Each structure stands twice: as structure tokens, then as C-alpha cells.
Amino acid sequence: MSLANPLPSFLEPLPGPAAAAVDTDASADAVWPLPLERTVSYGAGTAAAPDAIVRAGAELERYDEELDVPIDWNVVVLKAYDERGITVETCLEKIEKDARHHYRKHPFVLALGGEHTVTIPLVRAAADVFGPVGVLHIDAHADLRSQYQGQSLSHACVMHHVRTVTPDTVSVGVRSLSVPEAARLREERIPVVWAKDVACAPDDVWIDRVLENLPERVYVTIDLDGFDPSVIPGVGTPEPGGLLWYPVLRLLRRVAACRRVVGADIVEGVPLPGAPVTEFAAARLALKLMVYRRTA
Ligand SMILES: [Mn+2]
């Protein structure tokens, strides 16, 4: 697969006429590389994640063993976002405008970060195009600060901004938060499924709790540090005791089956030299979300 092609396929293109039509195929799902890296607070390198995930995606097979179905549609890779030389504010405005266009064109757009800040314009655009949305937020962190290190448009403030777009948010996998964030969760009764509760759960009743708090249309944002570092080692701010692979898949499958997933992102990955686990897991996760949506 050549990344020089303006719109290559995330997987191998389908054989036959579809292969030639990949870059104009409006029936194709899309992944959208957003290598934004401005406000990361500890480990750098998330700007390299979208390209690494797309390259890993090219290695994936066109068959889903869990659902026993072929993956018989194309997944185009949209033009990577170029953030050089502009302010964060301008970046996010441009992403919002482009997202509206992409959401109208493709059945499903999955953005690949880059830092979590990109979720702010993506949720705004989704609410604009599809109508009111709830947000399923998978993350080790609450991300509810109004400011972090003097910045408001920071990856640590994502859910603060998202909650100005919609009050319907559910956070899953949280295990790191500040005193004010803990107070805010209580005061605003923001639904949280803690990582410790998923780890100890004897069944999937926690998934019912997630669904109870989500409206008909849902945007899914996945900070890869929501996973346990044994599953996804490459993140900027790793926390032990995170979500394991199959519980997250069960969650995403139920949400895709019971709600309309209108958009999603996978953010904050940091490719590690010599250990491609992070980008392969992220690529598989992206494909799983697309398969769950298509077969719902
Ligand atoms: Mn996080």
C-alpha cells in the first residue's frame, strides 16, 4: 500500500473495480489521521500514531472471526491533517469544518489522533451534522479540568469542553483524577464506570449502566490509556489497572448494537520503537468498531 496515494485503503483494497474506485468511494468508511500534538503533558510522540496505525491497518485480514463475517467494504484513509504553523484554536476550527464535510460524505468516520484535544471539534461537528449526541468516553483520566498548565484547549480538558456540547457523557475506565475533578463528578452526577469496577465485575451489568446513560446517537472517544498498559503499552501517561481487551470489545459491540454510533476517535497512542503492539491493537480496535457498526 502506498501512502503517497491521496486516499489509500486502510485494509488492502477490495479486488476488482472497487479497488480502482477506493479514492472516490462514498460508501466506504473512513479513517482520518489527525496527528495533532501541542499540549501533551508527559510522554511525547502521539503525532506519529496515526501513520503507524494506518500502516498496521494495511496488515489486517478482511475477515472478522468473532462475528463470522467478511469485511467486504472499503475503508479509505482521508488526507492527514497538517497542523504546522497555525494556532491550536485555528487547528480545531479547521478540524471542525472538515469533519462536517467528511461526516456528510462517508457512512462512518473514525479519527486517529494525535492528542485528545481533537475530540472537541469532532463532537461539535457530529452534533451539528447528526443532531444531539451523547459521548462514550473511554479513558484512564476524567479530563474534566477547565484549564491545565495555563491552557484551556488542552488534552486534559477534553470532557470539560465536550460537556458544553452535550450533558450526556459516560466515562469508562477512569482511575486518575484531581480533587476538583472528583468533586465535579459528584456535583454534576456525571456517570462514571471506574476501571476498578470493571475489573471486579462478575458480569456485564456495567455495560447496561453505560447504555442507560447514552441517548440514541453516540459519539465514541477512546483514549488508548483507558486500556491496561499490558494491552496498550504505548501511551503518554500510562496508569496501571486499566481495561482489558475483551471487556472493551463487549462494550463497543453492545453500544453499536443498541445505539447509533455516528462518529469515533482513537487518540493519545504513542508508537514505541521495536514494539508495534500499540498501533496494531489500535488498528484492530478501529476495524472492530467499523465491523460492529456495519453488522448491528
Ligand atoms: Mn487519558
- How far away, in angstroms, is 40 Cα from ligand 1 center? 10
- 8 located within any domain: no
- How far away, in angstroms, is 27 Cα from ligand 1 center? 32
- How far away, in angstroms, is 238 Cα from ligand 1 center? 8
- How far away, in angstroms, is 21 Cα from ligand 1 center? 37
- How far away, in angstroms, is 42 Cα from ligand 1 center? 11
- How far away, in angstroms, is 145 Cα from ligand 1 center? 12
- How far away, in angstroms, is 290 Cα from ligand 1 center? 23
- How far away, in angstroms, is 116 Cα from ligand 1 center? 8
- 1 located within any domain: no
Number of domains in the chain: 1
- How far away, in angstroms, is 140 Cα from ligand 1 center? 5
- 279 located within any domain: yes
- How far away, in angstroms, is 172 Cα from ligand 1 center? 11
- How far away, in angstroms, is 296 Cα from ligand 1 center? 28
- How far away, in angstroms, is 194 Cα from ligand 1 center? 13
Residues 77, 91, 116, 274, CA torsion sign: positive
- How far away, in angstroms, is 234 Cα from ligand 1 center? 12
Tens of each residue's pLDDT in the chain, 296 residues:
444 445 788 998 887 766 666 666 778 999 999 999 987 666 689 999 999 999 999 999 999 999 999 999 999 999 988 877 888 899 999 999 999 999 999 999 999 999 999 999 999 999 999 999 999 999 999 999 988 888 888 888 999 999 999 999 999 999 999 999 999 999 999 999 999 999 999 999 999 999 999 999 999 999 999 999 999 999 999 999 999 999 999 999 999 999 999 999 999 999 999 999 999 999 999 999 999 999 99
- How far away, in angstroms, is 105 Cα from ligand 1 center? 30
- How far away, in angstroms, is 243 Cα from ligand 1 center? 12
**Domain CATH for 240:** 3.40.800.10
- 99 located within any domain: yes
- 206 located within any domain: yes
- 203 located within any domain: yes
- 205 located within any domain: yes
- 5 located within any domain: no
> Can you give the pLDDT at residue 22?
62
Q: 3-class secondary structure for the chain? A: CCCCCCCCECCCCCCCHHHHCHHHCCCCEEEEEECCCCCCCCCCCHHHHHHHHHHHHCCCCCEECCCCEECCCCEEECCCCCCCCCCHHHHHHHHHHHHHHHHHHCCCEEEEECCHHHHHHHHHHHHHHHCCCEEEEECCECCCCCCECCECCCHHHHHHHHHHHCCCEEEEEECECCHHHHHHHHHCCCCEEEHHHHHHCCCCHHHHHHHHCCCCEEEEEEEHHHECCCCCCCECCCCCCCECHHHHHHHHHHHHHHCEEEEEEEECECCECCECHHHHHHHHHHHHHHHHHHHC
Residue-number span of the structural domain to which 181 is assigned = 27-295
